[in-house]
Amino acid sequence: MKIKTTVILQVLRLLALLAFIGFSIEAGSIIISFIVSFYNPDAAKNLYKGLDLHQLKAYGEWAYYLAVIFLFSIAALKAQVWQKVMNLLSHLKMDNPFQPQMMQFLNRVSSALIAIWATGFLYNILAGFVNKRTGGELLQIIDADNFLFMAGLVFIITQVFKRGMEIQSENELTV
């Protein structure tokens, strides 16, 4: 039995929804824990999923604030990417997939992935600076390069869609 493309797209839409919810919860948990850490400094010991920034906060409040802002931004941008993917999948028309709005969706996803990479890059600069100054590992380096790679892949897919639109419009003109 063959699985139809529409069924696969529905499953992908569900997976995108689950990813969106997961990253939204992560972003919300980080920001709520950050706010709680103003009133209870021990909250910085378990910011999110065991993330301990208590020593970083003791090192310097500015570094703690920047690290949390970067981590929150990365989680929020990941949620935004999955929201855009959900929108793309819900607006995709299989009978005429090469639409200008699909290119716009793909460009937005690519831009959000580049923003995640840039935020991760800035976070890693902060982590390197703090770790060098303290002689320890107060902040873990995150692997943000994958997001630049994914942005490149989405850009290539966008170019394929662009060419598909050109071919589609040529075919409409010849008919």
Q: State the SS3 of 139-158.
A: CCCCCCHHHHHHHHHHHHHH
Q: Does pLDDT of 5 surpass 90?
A: no
Q: Considering the chain, what is the average pLDDT of its residues?
A: 86
30/170 Cα distance (integer angstroms):
50
Count structural domains, the chain: 1
119/27 Cα distance (integer angstroms):
14
Q: Read off the amino acid at residue 97.
A: P
The model's pLDDT over 105-121, given as tens digits with 9 standing for 90+, comes to 888 999 999 999 999 99
Give the lowest-confidence range in 62-76, 93-107, 119-133: 93-107
- Helical axes 100-134 vs 145-174, angle rounded to 10°: 170
Q: Does pLDDT of 173 surpass 70?
A: no
The model's pLDDT over 16-56, given as tens digits with 9 standing for 90+, comes to 999 999 999 999 998 988 888 888 877 777 777 777 787 88
Domain extent, residue 165, equals: 5-174
147, 120 contact by CB (below 8 A): yes
Distances from the Cα of 111 to the Cαs of 104, 108, 136, 147, 162, in angstroms? Answer: 10, 5, 34, 10, 17
The model's pLDDT over 83-106, given as tens digits with 9 standing for 90+, comes to 999 988 888 777 777 778 888 888
